Amino acid sequence: MENQTNHYDYVIIGSGFGGSVSALRLSEKGYKVLVIEKGKKYEAKEFPSSNWNLKRWLWLPALRFFGFFKITFYRHVSILSGVGFGGGSLVYANTLPIPKKEFFKAKSWSHLANWDEELKPFYQEAKRMLGVTKNPLLEYGDKALKLVSKQMGKEDMFEATDVAVFFGEPEKTVNDPYFNGEGPERAGCNFCGACMIGCRYNAKNTLDKNYLYFAEKKGAEFLTEKEVYNIIPVQNNSQTTYKVKWKSSTKLFKRKGEITCNGVVFSGGVLGTIPLLLKLKNTSLPNLSEKVGGNIRTNSESLLGVTSTDTEKDFSKGIAIGSIFHADKFSHLEAVRYPSGSGFWRTQMFPMLDGKNWLIRLLKVIIELILHPIKWLKLFFVKDWAKQTQILLFMQTINNTLSFSKSWFRMKTKLESGKAPTAFIPEARKLTKEFAKIVNGEPVALLSETLLGIPTTAHILGGAVMGKDKTEGVIDKNHKVFGYKNIYVCDGSAISANPGVNPSLTITALTERAMSKIPDKV
Ligand SMILES: Cc1cc2nc3c(=O)[nH]c(=O)nc-3n(C[C@H](O)[C@H](O)[C@H](O)COP(=O)(O)OP(=O)(O)OC[C@H]3O[C@@H](n4cnc5c(N)ncnc54)[C@H](O)[C@@H]3O)c2cc1C
Ligand code: SF4
């Protein structure tokens, strides 16, 4: 065993859902833990008041923007993700559903465990830790979604979302309401709709207010604004330890450092873990499974919208995702919002039109704009885009997989199985049109969806999936990496089927389960 002060039992790469759970549970078991996080640590007051403050909102190091929201474009999908102390919890919309039975029974992983039964206690614990509760207030957009469900004769399939938000008296600070007073102070939600640009009111249950907070109390240490770029196994007699190398992620002149540890937990999210594993497979960790980068799932999503010129309407009030409509066994639609004044996405919205290829769609867009110039000018220049636009997030359990591989300067995607993810999901478009009729608005879609046909997802999953052995997956059912001792993957990359709903609760529950299998330190 090493005696250096910078030797840890476990180094955890990333502080999102998987990383935070791992940090707390390993610290509780008596291990010496270090979490290394690429992004920044935020106080509530540091979040931007609108998404026009690009420098504070976007993670775009090339322009020296070090915010917490990242957009990455690939050939088959555009990916939205979070960067910072608390990972995706800083930018996410707090919505934490348990997936339907189809997810647990999916062929891709159902042979490994009875997931439905096994995960039940871990979902309960995840909900307790994250403070999940029912959204108590349906606002205008939620009520319109309810009407859509009613018109389809499926009102019982509509519900308010289960969310990780503190609903005390609006903006009133109280002592910790969740952990018998042991946790941090909280303030009640004021339904401002800003959850996805960071909660400035201390009402959103981000990971720094639960898992990471208690991990620190239990002795976990943290390095922020540092990116792990290499892991090298070191053989000491019969024991393998690892050298973990990091570099500064926000400084102009990059500082580098290294520490050693007995074990590593990869929790960088799909966009952090998979590029790193692909790189390491070609360099210092060649025994990793050939499946690294395979079985990537997009949750079969489509992000659409409806804009109305009626200034009396206000879609911006409420929590970021206030309601969900389970349109059928496989499909879910959620009403999503940004706060008043947050109109960045206005620059990306186009008429929602279909067509076989981009040329046909471009022609259709041009014709639509020529035929109805006044209508579209009014829609593009609505006074407050967030107030007058309802974003609609459509998700399906339908399976298709992509793979990520390294090209000479960045990752690239390839279709692996099923049909390529598409921006043109007929059910999503039909529901959006129904919604538009109800609110007297116009359906719109992201530019990248309408013209390029590339769907956008906030829920990228897989890439280091489970298998019975190395030929089938990268990790076993307890998240242990095949081919190396004491390396784990605990984040969205480990999700081995398509949940068809927002995945963070599942990532949390799976990590709780994985950590429960690791014995206490002796
Ligand atoms: C706008 C938006 C809204 C969303 N809304 C919801 C929602 O309502 N419900 C839901 O369930 N999900 C939602 N999601 C998705 C959710 O945020 C992700 O599924 C979840 O955060 C993934 O968790 P994770 O553990 O895989 O990693 P993440 O939470 O992504 O965390 C990974 C962390 O690792 C860090 N990292 C990566 N690589 C390195 C490295 N090499 N070195 C050091 N650090 C590194 C990253 O900076 C990041 O902070 C939303 C996402 C977005 C973008
Ligand atoms: S609606 Fe506003 S106050 Fe409530 S959790 Fe979201 S950002 Fe915070």
Rounded percentage of the chain residues whose pLDDT exceeds 70: 99
Give the C-alpha separation, 338 to 400, whole Å.
30
Nearest ligand, measured from the Cα of 344:
1
- Tell whether ligand 1 has an atom less than 6 A from the beta carbon of residue 343: no
For residue 1, is pLDDT > 60?
no
Residue 314: pLDDT band (50, 70, 90) is very high
- Tell whether ligand 1 has an atom less than 6 A from the beta carbon of residue 92: yes
Per-residue model confidence as pLDDT tens digits over 427-450: 999 999 999 999 999 999 988 888
Residue 72 C-alpha to ligand 1 middle, in angstroms? Answer: 13
Nearest ligand, measured from the Cα of 205:
2
Domains of the chain, each with CATH number or no CATH: 7-516 (3.50.50.60)
For residue 214, is pLDDT > 70?
yes
Comparing CA positions, the residue from 174, 181, 183, 175 lying closest to residue 214 is 183
Structure confidence at residue 134 (pLDDT): 97
Residue 53: pLDDT band (50, 70, 90) is very high
Residue 3: exposed, middle, or buried by beta-carbon count in 10 A (0-12, 13-18, 19+)? exposed
Structure confidence at residue 347 (pLDDT): 86
Q: Which of 1-10, 161-170, 286-295 has the lowest mean pLDDT?
A: 1-10
Per-residue model confidence as pLDDT tens digits over 246-301: 999 999 887 999 999 999 999 999 999 999 999 999 999 999 999 999 999 988 88
Active site residues: 459
For residue 2, is pLDDT > 70?
no
- Tell whether ligand 1 has an atom less than 6 A from the beta carbon of residue 305: no
- β pairing state of 78-82 and 456-457: parallel
What's the token pair of residue 251?
């400084």
Atom of ligand 2 nearest to the CA of 171: 3
Give the C-alpha separation, 159 to 178, whole Å.
24
Nearest ligand, measured from the Cα of 224:
1
Structure confidence at residue 452 (pLDDT): 86
pTM above 0.75, yes or no: yes
Comparing CA positions, the residue from 501, 484, 43, 38 lying closest to residue 264 is 484
Nearest ligand, measured from the Cα of 198:
2
For residue 168, is pLDDT > 90?
yes
> With the CA atoms of 153, 157, 159 and 161 taken in that order, what torsion angle do they form, in degrees rounded to the nearest 10?
-140
In this structure, which amino acid lies at residue 103?
Answer: F
- Using CA positions, which residue lies closest to atom 6 of ligand 2? 195
Comparing CA positions, the residue from 200, 267, 226 lying closest to residue 56 is 200
- Using CA positions, which residue lies closest to atom 3 of ligand 2? 189
Structure confidence at residue 448 (pLDDT): 82
Give CA 181 to chain center in angstroms. 29
For residue 3, is pLDDT > 50?
no
Asked if residues 58 and 71 have their Cβ atoms less than 8 Å apart, the reply is yes
For residue 4, is pLDDT > 60?
no
Residue 83: pLDDT band (50, 70, 90) is very high
Residue 48 C-alpha to ligand 1 middle, in angstroms? Answer: 19
Phi first, then psi, for residue 427 (nearest 5°) are -60, -40
- Which position has the higher pLDDT, 85 or 237? 85
In this structure, which amino acid lies at residue 471?
Answer: T
Structure confidence at residue 506 (pLDDT): 98
Structure confidence at residue 270 (pLDDT): 98
Structure confidence at residue 132 (pLDDT): 98
Question: Which residues, 6+ apart, have CB-to-CB distance to 129 below 8 Å?
Answer: 21, 210, 211, 508
Give the C-alpha separation, 225 to 83, whole Å.
10
For residue 398, is pLDDT > 80?
no
Residue 303: pLDDT band (50, 70, 90) is confident
Structure confidence at residue 509 (pLDDT): 98
In this structure, which amino acid lies at residue 428?
Answer: A
Compute the C-alpha angle 223/228/229, nearest 5°.
Answer: 160
Mean pLDDT of the region 158-176: 97
Residue among 69, 186, 199, 337 whose CB has most ligand 2 atoms within 8 A, to mutate:
199
Rounded percentage of the chain residues whose pLDDT exceeds 90: 81
Question: Which residues, 6+ apart, have CB-to-CB distance to 99 below 8 Å?
Answer: 397, 499, 500, 501, 503, 506
Mean pLDDT of the region 330-347: 92
Atom of ligand 1 nearest to the CA of 69: 53
For residue 225, is pLDDT > 90?
yes
The average confidence (pLDDT) of the chain is 94
Give the C-alpha separation, 129 to 211, whole Å.
7
Per-residue model confidence as pLDDT tens digits over 362-381: 999 999 999 999 999 999 99
- Tell whether ligand 1 has an atom less than 6 A from the beta carbon of residue 99: no
Give the C-alpha separation, 272 to 493, whole Å.
9
- Using CA positions, which residue lies closest to atom 5 of ligand 2? 204
Compute the C-alpha angle 82/125/109, nearest 5°.
Answer: 70
Mean pLDDT of the region 163-175: 97
Structure confidence at residue 31 (pLDDT): 98
Q: Which of 408-412, 485-489, 497-501 has the lowest mean pLDDT?
A: 408-412
Residue 74 C-alpha to ligand 2 middle, in angstroms? Answer: 31
Structure confidence at residue 301 (pLDDT): 84
- Tell whether ligand 1 has an atom less than 6 A from the beta carbon of residue 162: no
Residue 79 C-alpha to ligand 1 middle, in angstroms? Answer: 11
- Tell whether ligand 1 has an atom less than 6 A from the beta carbon of residue 227: yes
Residue among 47, 319, 323, 338 whose CB has most ligand 2 atoms within 8 A, to mutate:
319
Comparing CA positions, the residue from 181, 180, 177 lying closest to residue 189 is 177
